[in-house]
Structure 1
């Protein structure tokens, strides 16, 4: 099992564009959300009331992979991560496909596809790999190869010449440009603009084939559910049609004629189908079940609806259907055909980090985003968890990773470092941490006063070395972190008596982790390509300097360090100054 964690990464801090960013103060959650009536209770010994607990991410496993594998699969170089439909994690890199168990991280097998990987998929006991000598999809389909492997052992099941444009698992959809393989629990369907055929994914035998009898209706979209291959068609009379094909027989399973629609789009989950359109300037959605029966339909009454982005279908419960447009989550009451509530997911476009868990929560995970945002330095990646009642919680991840895939209740993140990339499998637990969950279960009282991190003696030493006196300037607006107000300021500026900009620096406590190991990983993870990386070195018995990053001409220098459970960032104009401040901060814990 290749589930070894990398040594502490040699990383650098990203440049600070200003020295006034402090700690990010998003306010946490959505102000329109209903109040969370759980309250916050003390978790300290002797408290009369047991602490309320809230959601948190637990780490299931971690492993090291090459840099190229630390992202969602990219067909341009055939590398990256893809989560299968039934519990497999497929990692393509260096011409090899490693197949892991998503729940445990155990390596099932490794295979060497004959050509560069073009697409990967897994359903049931089959892993399907399409490899090509031209990943950009040129005309030489005769040289493409599709290979099927046993998903447990890696044994070769079959191999054939010729390849599809792409492969879809249940819950995936896409544009139909050329032949697409649709994997379902009832078999595989090869769907093209004019011809459809069926295949047994275990044996590779062709089971049926027929010409498309609806060729006058242009198929624009294709999708996979558990039991059907779906086609979204636009017909000459202007009508939009959704057709479901049975992959086992090739027969039409059902057909829904939706009438003339403007800009129809298809979105699916493994057991739901949604067609959204903007007809007459009004965004409207029709939701069908696997049998083609209408679940609900509604017009979205939201002036900020982004028509160009369409709707992504997330799932449903007994009352609501959950949809996303841009950064807005909608709970649509299926019976009434009206919006029950809507919330901000905060981030737009991170589809690998946006889904509805098996427990019914909608999770939105942000990546590292703007590398030059000093407020993000030293902070873990963030997630927003929205429960079925619309309550929202800011829940930090235990790392600085970007979301690269998800399956069931498991989120896979990738954290880049100087000597490789770490994949982490995380699972959301509803009661993992005591309040406040926005601080990862660490009591707010354990966050130190940033202005007190440098003692009077330390400031005196620094002032004597620099030939000036320093004054502490608390950053009062830094107290709010993920919806929790801290008792002390986590950011403090230090200005010289002369007012020189060269002597100005800021010390920020960006995070207090539950343990020193987590603090080191957060301090050392998720920095961008091309950043100058300083030498990892110990500044004290429990302090590690992870590096210094330089900004453009006239910019700032940033140093990031882990000091025990604290992640601290020092920002200033001079590298020597911020390094010296880091040394003084470390010596304070050793003295």
Structure 2
């Protein structure tokens, strides 16, 4: 650049520097700038195309199977009273997604199919055989809810790590064929217990971000068909175990309302039109749990459980802050009777009552104390109730069949174990096509756990009562006969006193003790434990291992195991020094006697699958054995048809030693 200044007028003349060929330099700069802009546009366009056609493409992130096979509808009947056998089963692993509280597994039976919904996606099977029909999963996405209406099923997915990226996907319920996809819609009040949100009459209920407006979305096209503003000052609850429920003709949603008494409300809406059927106040500002039956709506808000008819009339109320415990009260509607299980107010928490009321009069027909049923189902005029234990001292869960007219009960063992304290799937029950479907939580596979779905049919009758799965009561051994004095002496428990405990299975009372607790006698040293010269008790040295498995009593053969090592991990005599010198109580329980060895093996496997910590033990000399819990204080073993549990925390290694003795006694009956 060159500048010339005029001396007289002060004018400034600026001239551009020329490139070879007479082309100004500024023209080249413009072209460079245009090139940079074009490159930036190309990069942005490539990023958009990659995001849409690669990162967001269905072909790599979606696993979708469909079917053209017809399905046979099921009759509304369950299995007959009596023993139960497994028809088929399925295990679904727990999915821990980015959204807390939505890691459960839920089930439903409809149209001859069983739907399994979890964070992984949808899995639909033939309800009669368990054969796969169709499924849908999205990699990098979590299923947070699902809804079904008529012949359509809709899933709600959220992209992992991005709460604003939501997607509704609709399917034909029978074939799994894709109907439509819609981005951005937010389902109304998804239940964390069932993962469902209300839908009916081919319309889904959704909401906006402030949760103050309801929308009806067509399950056929995915388009909005109506809009409903919620009452002033009210909005849908953000979360809750069961903040909503619905059926084809009616949906009930819990509302969080401001002002005045700030109590929650229950809003009933017709899904087809969006019209409000009724709006009722509840007794607490907390999020209630809502459950809908065919003609009855139940709401529990921590102050009471209330039952409403289809017009919103409250025809029954059970007061108390613990009337439903930690979950919604179990209830079914059959033959015009509402049968509900609850904890009566003012009585011990352990008391559970079943009550039958006429609808809509609310008249109590009968009531009786029952076990704390984990789930209820009804079909064919019968009510099926899942009890966590057949008996307090026995291993399997139980199924009660309740006669709605008078409350008479028949009981049968379930071929699985149930631990209601496990997270994930809540216990679930349904009946159709002569089968009973049960969903129960499992701790295995560890560490995340799973839900197990079991389809049960009527089993074969045996020589014994149905309450014992056909096994004669006389086949049960006496728990107090499984250990002899020599076995107790070898474990430094020769002076322990046996306390037998008997049990009932339904109406059947077992003739012998199913559990035996050995407690130290008071004020006297254990027999066989000599005193030292100063009068103090001391433990005799532990016998060394002798003999071979199955040839000698295990009371004289104790191998060094990880549970029988010192603090430094080296094997040594147990109970000679340190805290292991204390001798506590021990309990031996005959948890089950199965019809066959295979059935007993399945029962033991079911037991260990419900435990957070279980390790296989191959040194017990039983057919199978597991060490349960963080220490070696509990050993569960199987010998042939017998499942036995030994509990002895002190001294260390006592449970394993006594389990070997029991295995020897069962293998070598006198």
Same-fold call, TM cutoff 0.5: yes
Residues 81-96 of structure 1: matches in 2 within 5 Å?
A: 81-84=105-108, 86=110, 87-92=113-118, 95=120
Report if aligned partners of 1:322, 1:332 keep a CA contact under 8 Å in 2.
Answer: yes
Question: Match for 1:245 among 252, 269, 294?
Answer: 269
Aligned mates of 1:96, 1:267 — CA distance in 2: 24
Q: Per-residue deviation at 1:267? A: 3.6
The count of corresponding residues between Structure 1 and Structure 2 is 494
Local SS of the residue matching 2:659: helix
Of 268-277 and 468-477, more deviation after overlay is shown by 468-477
Q: What residue is the counterpart of 1:346 in the other structure?
A: 371
Local SS of the residue matching 1:525: helix
Q: What residue is the counterpart of 1:314 in the other structure?
A: 331
Report if aligned partners of 2:482, 2:666 keep a CA contact under 8 Å in 1.
Answer: no
Report if aligned partners of 2:491, 2:654 keep a CA contact under 8 Å in 1.
Answer: no
Report if aligned partners of 2:305, 2:324 keep a CA contact under 8 Å in 1.
Answer: no
Residues 420-459 of structure 1: matches in 2 within 5 Å?
A: 423-427=452-456, 436-454=465-483
Aligned mates of 2:289, 2:503 — CA distance in 1: 44
Residues 311-390 of structure 1: matches in 2 within 5 Å?
A: 312=329, 314-326=331-343, 327-334=352-359, 336-347=361-372, 350=374, 353-357=375-379, 359-366=381-388, 379-388=395-404, 389-390=406-407
Which structure has more RCO (C-alpha within 8 Å, separation ≥ 6)?
1
Aligned mates of 1:329, 1:246 — CA distance in 2: 31
Report if aligned partners of 1:84, 1:121 keep a CA contact under 8 Å in 2.
Answer: no
Question: Match for 1:151 among 167, 173, 185?
Answer: 173
Q: What residue is the counterpart of 1:297 in the other structure?
A: 315
Structure with the higher strand share, 1 or 2: 1
Distance 1:63 1:274, change over 3 A: closer
1:492 paired with 2:477, answer no
1:581 paired with 2:608, answer no
Q: Per-residue deviation at 1:304? A: 9.1
Aligned mates of 1:520, 1:471 — CA distance in 2: 34
Distance 1:376 1:477, change over 3 A: closer
Q: What are the Cα deviations for residues 139-166 of structure 1, in whole angstroms up to 9, with x where unaligned?
A: x43x111222333343322212114255
Distance 1:286 1:431, change over 3 A: farther
Distance 1:545 1:512, change over 3 A: same
Q: Per-residue deviation at 1:299? A: 4.8
Distance 1:565 1:191, change over 3 A: same
Report if aligned partners of 2:393, 2:589 keep a CA contact under 8 Å in 1.
Answer: no
Local SS of the residue matching 1:524: helix
Q: Per-residue deviation at 1:344? A: 3.9
Report if aligned partners of 2:266, 2:282 keep a CA contact under 8 Å in 1.
Answer: no
Q: What residue is the counterpart of 1:524 in the other structure?
A: 605
1:561 paired with 2:637, answer yes
Q: What residue is the counterpart of 1:60 in the other structure?
A: 87
Residues 94-105 of structure 1: matches in 2 within 5 Å?
A: 95=120, 97-105=122-130
Question: Match for 1:228 among 245, 250, 269?
Answer: 250
TM-score, length-scaled by structure 2: 0.61
Local SS of the residue matching 2:170: strand
* Unaligned ranges ≥5, structure 1: 1-52, 175-179, 369-374
Report if aligned partners of 2:213, 2:227 keep a CA contact under 8 Å in 1.
Answer: yes
Q: Per-residue deviation at 1:90? A: 1.8
Q: Report the RMSD for the aligned CA atoms in angstroms.
A: 4.5
TM-score, length-scaled by structure 1: 0.68
Aligned mates of 1:524, 1:423 — CA distance in 2: 13
Aligned mates of 1:194, 1:448 — CA distance in 2: 64
Distance 1:304 1:395, change over 3 A: farther
Aligned mates of 2:190, 2:160 — CA distance in 1: 20
Q: What residue is the counterpart of 2:56 in the other structure?
A: none
Residues 177-188 of structure 1: matches in 2 within 5 Å?
A: 182-188=198-204
Distance 1:477 1:271, change over 3 A: same
